[in-house]
Chain A
Amino acid sequence: MTDNTALAEQLEQIVGERFLLRRKSDLLVYNSDGLPGYRRMPRLAVFPGNRDEAIRVVRTLAEHGAPYVPRGAGTGLSGGALADDIVLLGMHRLKRVISIDRENLRAVVEPGVVNLTLNRTVAPLGLIYAPDPSSEAACTIGGNVAENAGGPHCLKYGVTLNHILSITAILPDGEIVTLGNPEGETAGYDLRGAFIGSEGCFGVALDVTARLTRKPAAIRTMLADFTSVDDAARVASAIIASGIVPAALEFMDAPTIQVVESSVYAAGYPADAAAVLLIEVDGIAEGVDADRDTVREICLSGGARTVKVAQNDAERTRLWQGRKKAFGAMGRMAPHLVVQDAVIPRTRLAEVLAKIREIAEANRVVVCNVFHAGDGNLHPNIPYNADNPEEAGRVHRAMGEIMRACVAAGGSITGEHGVGLDKIGYIELIFSPDSLGAMCRLREVFDPQRRSNPGKVVPIHSCQEWRATPARRASEHVPGAGVAS
């Protein structure tokens, strides 16, 4: 990026003075995302207010050869939306729900639409947008598409990928392309599929056609409590193995339960339990009653003390509240919090949880486990004080050891948060140089100059000629440094 001033002026002409930030004090707000362990200062931040402005902004960036980082709500938990001395391109002002097609179960939305806003818009029609990340009240659909976001109900309904039919994107060179189509048919390569989960590295999503789902006829929500973590883990596997596909199957361990119960989000979980499972089944009423009975039976014969079934919406909401706010409640335990996002085969849950316990003890840290058990998607959280270097060191070590244990069990390094900056140092644990090279080839078709979110997802040295990008620091990143502070 050569002439910063000229670029800033051109961008300002497009979006207006208010929406082009260049002063350090203004930019400070954008130097981190949901994982504040990383701080990266953008050089400029630009916030287009509509489609036309967004296109002109990207084209101007292209003319200047300027690298940039797309950003939605900045709730990402992998440091993906950080701009290191380059342009931050905020898309949150593009928040129109363009159309809802009730009969065909389609919604066309701009990328800045907040996930929950879309759900609130379609709820009166008896519809839902199924992917429901716990950050739904803040995160944007554009960010969801870029991260291929999941959520508790993705166990049955699938992740973002399964619900996006087409995407109009601005490629880094300014070309507008439509990937996939609203009918869901793809003749030719599935470029829509390739774009989803590309973490802002392939271009900027400008609008998306999403598939909506009919609200299930009936829902049964249950809380099973256990005096043994192992029992809870085995029961989670047994429910899946029984053939029932629960709408959600969430796991919380004792430290998590205690922190939730001592917070304003108290959900009535038994405070002395070693673990609870929050289980939801949905579908046609008669069928879900039968599934509820089967699940209850599996829980009780697997060692559950009690299985509480929500009797009405208020009780259901309360049971869910503890789960959805667990992360927030942990904020009370210590000044800082770090969360891992590893995935393991479901049958290895009990074994890996035991291993995590060992790692926690060895490193003298507290791990709060709250996660999507049905998917094997673990979220070990460690509350700590980052200002104490000795403690921070132990936390980093524990996080790294947990990740390696999950990979050793046949797992993956991220189930829904993405690689971003935080997990780039782990990606070579699961992909060979040739596989990473193939990912670079894919990226380079969309972005030959590697100007869109440079330095994220795939380490620079994996892409042979990929050297002279401004994202040097990403390649120097040490795994496990992704620590909230």
Chain B
Amino acid sequence: MTAAAAASHPVRDMVMDAAGSGTPLRIAGRSHWMDAGRPVAASRIASLAAHSGVVDYVPGDLTITVRSGTTLREIEQITGAEGQWLPLDPHGSADGTIGATIATGSFGPLAHGFGRARDLMLGVEFVTGDGKIVRGGGRVVKNVAGFDLVRLATGSWGTLGVISEATLRLYSLPARPATLSLSVPDGANALAQRITSILSTPATPFAVEMVDAELAGRIGLPRRPQILIELGGNHAAVEAQRHALSQLGGAHDVGPEVWKQFRDIEDVPPSANGSRPPVVLRISALPTRIAELWMSTHNAIGHMDGAMMHASAGLGIVRCILPAGTPLETIQPLTSAAAGATIVFERLPSHMWPTLSPSVIADRLSQGMSRSFDPHNILNAGIMGPVH
């Protein structure tokens, strides 16, 4: 980028302006999910919503470069027209931006087959807290040139820089998708066995997601716990996988629209931001612990009205969505039931942060990153925890 072009970079101008006056910025995409992370004290919103659109898309290369304000839905439409897709399905609205998805490191059930945001990222451009436009990675599918600014930016919640552009790896849309539901047996042992047998068939599903009765009901399925499996590939591959999974018993086809409904249950439109959001926590452990975690979590919240849970069995992740107003006394036992697992609070009322979650950037290296990339501490300050 030439000096003249750099000077008129809209994101950089925004950051430089704030840095000059020491104004802390609250970064926003489409503002669907501004209450994720700790509260941010900022006097100005830096909106990326208008910084959108495709910079470069060569379908033959299966890569796309977009500005960060581009929504996932726009990416889906543009790539879909070429028979391609970005297999990244974070919970929440498809109207969210790619910048926010990368900044928050969000992912959904497809992470089972395609990895998380960090695995689909080829290149990134972001603007550091002192107004430097930096790029990591590139536009090709393989690249080890230089230190990895791509992974550093992914999941950094905007605290190291405002993401302005990203290059992503695409896949061809599967010739023949299929969505299956398998019944969930009672008891931890039976459940563990069922998961093991699903994962050890020769099938290579795109997604394997357990949903509880409440969630099943909300997405238009019979109100009972079940395992949703997404298959894809050529006709023969899908039929063979469907056959292998049917052998396990209790399998039937459900439409692919369950995934859309699954995603939409957490869609909170920006205008509703004033309302009290649910509490969302993600518990991660080794995959062999998934049945035990599922049962203990279920025991802790199963009785609550409106509580829902789902699990990415192959990844070892249980995710709980609890109604707004869930008291601390309910959440605490849940976190102790998950002892030894990693807990990420995706949504938590501001007053609970200090009790439930110590800073996630408390270590020396993380604090160093934050100071070094955002020396004036103006980018989403405090969202991951205080920098000392």
Stretch at the interface among B138-146, B221-229, B323-331: B138-146
Among B152, B174, B238, which residue has the most Cβ atoms of chain A within 10 A?
Answer: B152
**Nearest Cβ distance between residue A482 and chain B, in whole angstroms?**
14
**Interface assignment of A186: CB less than 8 Å from any CB of chain B:** yes
Convert A152-183 into 0s and 1s, putting 1 for each residue whose CB lies closer than 8 angstroms to a CB of B.
00100011011000000000000101000111
Residues of B within 8 A of A201 (CB): 147
**Interface assignment of A185: CB less than 8 Å from any CB of chain B:** yes
**Nearest Cβ distance between residue B274 and chain A, in whole angstroms?**
27
Among A286, A291, A439, which residue has the most Cβ atoms of chain B within 10 A?
Answer: A286
Chain A interface size, under 10 / 10 to 19 / 20 to 34 / 35 or more = 35 or more
Q: Are A343 and B140 in contact (CB under 8 A)?
A: yes
**Nearest Cβ distance between residue A50 and chain B, in whole angstroms?**
25
**Nearest Cβ distance between residue B299 and chain A, in whole angstroms?**
22
- The answer to whether residues A418 and B144 also contact, given A183-B341, A191-B366, A283-B233 and a CB cut-off of 8 A, is yes
Residues of B within 8 A of A290 (CB): 234-237
**Interface assignment of A217: CB less than 8 Å from any CB of chain B:** yes
Stretch at the interface among A2-10, A237-245, A258-266: A237-245
Chain A, Cβ-Cβ closest to B156: A189
CA gap between A154 and B1 in the complex, in Å: 32
Residues of B within 8 A of A344 (CB): 140
Among B134, B142, B172, B235, which residue has the most Cβ atoms of chain A within 10 A?
Answer: B142
**Interface assignment of B148: CB less than 8 Å from any CB of chain A:** yes
Residues of A within 8 A of B138 (CB): 343, 411-412, 430
**Interface assignment of B353: CB less than 8 Å from any CB of chain A:** no
**Interface assignment of A150: CB less than 8 Å from any CB of chain B:** yes
CA gap between A11 and B165 in the complex, in Å: 48
**Interface assignment of B115: CB less than 8 Å from any CB of chain A:** yes
**Nearest Cβ distance between residue A49 and chain B, in whole angstroms?**
28
Contact partner, A432, options B1, B156, B373, Cβ 8 Å: B1
**Nearest Cβ distance between residue A279 and chain B, in whole angstroms?**
16
Stretch at the interface among B13-21, B55-63, B210-218, B254-262: B55-63
Q: Are B341 and A287 in contact (CB under 8 A)?
A: no
Contact partner, B288, options A104, A159, A438, A458, Cβ 8 Å: A104
- The answer to whether residues A284 and B133 also contact, given A154-B142, A445-B368 and a CB cut-off of 8 A, is no
Q: Are A427 and B145 in contact (CB under 8 A)?
A: yes
Q: Are A343 and B105 in contact (CB under 8 A)?
A: no
Residues of A within 8 A of B282 (CB): 185
Residues of B within 8 A of A244 (CB): 172
Q: Are B152 and A286 in contact (CB under 8 A)?
A: no
Contact partner, B155, options A186, A217, A410, Cβ 8 Å: A186
- The answer to whether residues A284 and B63 also contact, given A183-B342, A347-B58 and a CB cut-off of 8 A, is no
**Nearest Cβ distance between residue B315 and chain A, in whole angstroms?**
7
Residues of B within 8 A of A286 (CB): 236-237, 239-240
Q: Are A187 and B152 in contact (CB under 8 A)?
A: no
CA gap between A241 and B370 in the complex, in Å: 41
Residues of A within 8 A of B139 (CB): 345, 410
**Interface assignment of A28: CB less than 8 Å from any CB of chain B:** no
Q: Are B342 and A181 in contact (CB under 8 A)?
A: yes
Residues of A within 8 A of B32 (CB): none
CA gap between A186 and B343 in the complex, in Å: 10
Q: Are B135 and A446 in contact (CB under 8 A)?
A: no
- The answer to whether residues A190 and B286 also contact, given A412-B138, A441-B372 and a CB cut-off of 8 A, is no
**Nearest Cβ distance between residue B140 and chain A, in whole angstroms?**
4
**Interface assignment of A423: CB less than 8 Å from any CB of chain B:** yes
Contact partner, A427, options B146, B172, B240, B363, Cβ 8 Å: B146
**Interface assignment of B118: CB less than 8 Å from any CB of chain A:** yes
Contact partner, B373, options A154, A196, A419, A441, Cβ 8 Å: A441
Q: Are A284 and B203 in contact (CB under 8 A)?
A: yes
Q: Are A162 and B115 in contact (CB under 8 A)?
A: yes
Q: Are B135 and A432 in contact (CB under 8 A)?
A: yes
- The answer to whether residues A438 and B373 also contact, given A183-B285, A190-B152 and a CB cut-off of 8 A, is yes
**Interface assignment of B119: CB less than 8 Å from any CB of chain A:** yes
**Interface assignment of B344: CB less than 8 Å from any CB of chain A:** yes
Residues of B within 8 A of A182 (CB): 286
Q: Which residues in chain B, 357-373, are within 8 Å of chain A measured between CB atoms?
A: 360-361, 363-366, 368-369, 372-373
Residues of B within 8 A of A294 (CB): 234
Convert B49-76 into 0s and 1s, putting 1 for each residue whose CB lies closer than 8 angstroms to a CB of A.
0000000001111110000000000000
Contact partner, A375, options B142, B147, B364, Cβ 8 Å: B142
**Interface assignment of A376: CB less than 8 Å from any CB of chain B:** yes
Contact partner, B142, options A376, A419, A437, Cβ 8 Å: A376
Chain B, Cβ-Cβ closest to A413: B145
Chain A, Cβ-Cβ closest to B154: A190
Chain B, Cβ-Cβ closest to A192: B151
Q: Are A194 and B237 in contact (CB under 8 A)?
A: no
Contact partner, B147, options A101, A283, A376, A442, Cβ 8 Å: A442
Q: Are A187 and B344 in contact (CB under 8 A)?
A: yes
**Interface assignment of A32: CB less than 8 Å from any CB of chain B:** no
**Interface assignment of B380: CB less than 8 Å from any CB of chain A:** no
**Nearest Cβ distance between residue B32 and chain A, in whole angstroms?**
21
**Interface assignment of B354: CB less than 8 Å from any CB of chain A:** no
Q: Are B288 and A414 in contact (CB under 8 A)?
A: no
Chain A, Cβ-Cβ closest to B196: A103
CA gap between A195 and B23 in the complex, in Å: 32
- The answer to whether residues A283 and B204 also contact, given A185-B284, A372-B142, A438-B373 and a CB cut-off of 8 A, is yes
Q: Are B369 and A189 in contact (CB under 8 A)?
A: yes
Residues of B within 8 A of A435 (CB): 134-136, 146, 149
Residues of B within 8 A of A436 (CB): 146
**Nearest Cβ distance between residue A346 and chain B, in whole angstroms?**
5
Chain B, Cβ-Cβ closest to A101: B286
Chain A, Cβ-Cβ closest to B345: A187
Residues of A within 8 A of B364 (CB): 175
**Interface assignment of B83: CB less than 8 Å from any CB of chain A:** yes
**Nearest Cβ distance between residue A299 and chain B, in whole angstroms?**
17
Among B58, B233, B315, which residue has the most Cβ atoms of chain A within 10 A?
Answer: B233
**Interface assignment of B24: CB less than 8 Å from any CB of chain A:** no
Chain A, Cβ-Cβ closest to B61: A345
**Interface assignment of A335: CB less than 8 Å from any CB of chain B:** no
**Interface assignment of A112: CB less than 8 Å from any CB of chain B:** no
- The answer to whether residues A193 and B146 also contact, given A104-B287, A186-B105, A411-B140 and a CB cut-off of 8 A, is no
CA gap between A458 and B134 in the complex, in Å: 14
Q: Are B365 and A184 in contact (CB under 8 A)?
A: no
Contact partner, B236, options A196, A287, A375, A432, Cβ 8 Å: A287
Q: Are A412 and B361 in contact (CB under 8 A)?
A: no
Residues of B within 8 A of A104 (CB): 286-288, 316
- The answer to whether residues A289 and B236 also contact, given A183-B342, A188-B361, A347-B58 and a CB cut-off of 8 A, is yes
Residues of B within 8 A of A162 (CB): 115, 119
Residues of B within 8 A of A150 (CB): 142, 144
Q: Name 12 interchain pairs, CB-CB below 8 A, sorted by A.
A: A188-B363, A189-B155, A189-B361, A198-B147, A214-B200, A240-B62, A243-B83, A283-B233, A284-B202, A376-B61, A416-B144, A458-B147
